[in-house]
Amino acid sequence: MKDLLDQVDLVHHNGRPDLFKIGRKYNDDQLLEIIGDDSRPVFVAVSSDGVVLGYCFCIIQQTLYDNVLTDIKTLYIDDLCVDGSCRRNGVGRMLYESAVSHARDLGCHNVTLNVWEMNPGARAFYESLGMKPLKTYMEELL
């Protein structure tokens, strides 16, 4: 799984080296913490010979008693990666659909995620699954 985390980091670093260092989003201790946390579902695709082909890290978020937002439960996809050697073979779709099914089972209102503008392939993938933009996060470089 560490190799996949490296692949994700490299996409982000190459796209926005001003924002992303070379490194992993999660270290070993953080990965163990995530795996042991029931509020952070993890889905993993494994080949028949035990090789990790992809993962989907999620976070269950709940808005309650907000002055403006309604009370809803959301499954947020924190990170989804498929190994570069097996993309376009349905692994990402299977991981996404597993996350959506889990969200439905939990009574979630929606599934959300963030896509960086420098990653148009990821955006096209999520749109092909039926996702639509929720909001736009903008910047001005100084």
pTM metric for this prediction: 0.92
Please indicate, yes or no, if residue 12 is contained in any of the structural domains. no
CATH number of the domain where residue 49 is located: 3.40.630.30
**pLDDT tens, residue order, the chain (142 aa):** 788 988 899 999 999 999 999 988 998 899 999 999 988 999 999 999 999 999 999 999 998 999 999 999 999 999 999 998 898 899 999 999 999 999 999 999 999 999 999 999 999 999 999 999 999 999 999 9
CB 83 within 8 A of CB 116: no
Please indicate, yes or no, if residue 91 is contained in any of the structural domains. yes
Domain, as residue range, for 115: 38-128
Displacement of CA 77 from its chain's centroid (Å)? 4
Q: 12: burial class by Cβ within 10 Å (0-12, 13-18, 19+)?
A: middle
